[in-house]
Amino acid sequence: MKVSWLSAVLVGAAATNAIDTISAVGNKFFTSSGTQFFVKGVAYQLTPADPLVDATQCALDVDLMKTLGTNAIRVYHVDPKANHDKCMSTLADAGIYTLIDLDTFDTYILPNDPWWNQTQHDRYSEVMDAFIKYDNVLGFFVGNEIIARANESQVAPYIKTAARDMKSYRDAKGYRQVPIGYSAADIAELRPMLQDYLTCGGNSSEIIDFFALNSYEWCDPSTYATSGYAVLQEQAKNFPVPIFFSETGCNVGGPRVFDDQAAIFGPEMVNDWSGSIIYEWIEEANEYGIISYGPKVDPTATGSNIEGGFTRAGKPTAISPDFDNLKSQWAKATPTGVAKANFKPSVSTRACPAATSGGWLVDGNVALPTLGETFSGTYTTVPSATVTESATAASGTSSSTSSTNPAPPTKEIAGMGAGLVGVMLFFTFWL
- Residue 160 clears pLDDT 90, i.e. is over it: yes
**152, 247, 284, 307: which is the annotated catalytic residue?**
247
Q: How confident is the model at residue 291 (pLDDT cuts 50, 70, 90)?
A: very high
Rounded to an integer, the average pLDDT of 226-248 is 96
pLDDT of 67 reads 98
Topology, domain 2-426: TIM Barrel (3.20.20)
Q: How confident is the model at residue 55 (pLDDT cuts 50, 70, 90)?
A: very high
* Residue 137 or residue 359, greater confidence: 137
pLDDT of 304 reads 77
pLDDT of 59 reads 98
| pLDDT per residue as tens digits for the range 320-366 | 999 999 999 999 999 999 999 999 987 777 889 999 887 899 999 99
State the average pLDDT for the chain.
85
- Residue 425 clears pLDDT 80, i.e. is over it: no
- Residue 427 clears pLDDT 70, i.e. is over it: no
Q: What would the 3-class secondary structure string for the chain be?
A: CHHHHHHHHHHHHHHHCCCCCEEEECCEEEECCCCEECEEEEECCCCCCCCCCCHHHHHHHHHHHHHHCCCEEEECCCCCCCCCHHHHHHHHHCCCEEEEECCCCCCCCCCCCCEECHHHHHHHHHHHHHHCCCCCEEEEEEEECCCCCCCCHHHHHHHHHHHHHHHHHHHHCCCCCCCEEEEEEECCCCHHHHHHHCCECCCHHHCCCEEEEECCCCECCCCCCCCCHHHHHHHHCCCCCCEEEEEECECCCCCCCCCHHHHHCCCCCCCCEEEEEECCCECCCCCCCCEECCCCCCCCCCCCCEECCEECCCCCEECCCHHHHHHHHHHHCCCCCCCHHHCCCCCCCECCCCCCCCCCCCCCCCCCCCCCEECCCCCCCCCCCCCCCCCCHHHCCCCCCCECCCCCCCHHHHHCCHHHHHHHHHCCCCC
Which of the listed ranges 101-105, 128-132, 286-290 does the model predict with the highest average pLDDT? 128-132
Q: How confident is the model at residue 309 (pLDDT cuts 50, 70, 90)?
A: confident
For the entire predicted model, the pTM comes to: 0.87
- 247 in active site: yes
pLDDT of 407 reads 61
- Give domain limits for the chain: 2-426
- 126 in active site: no
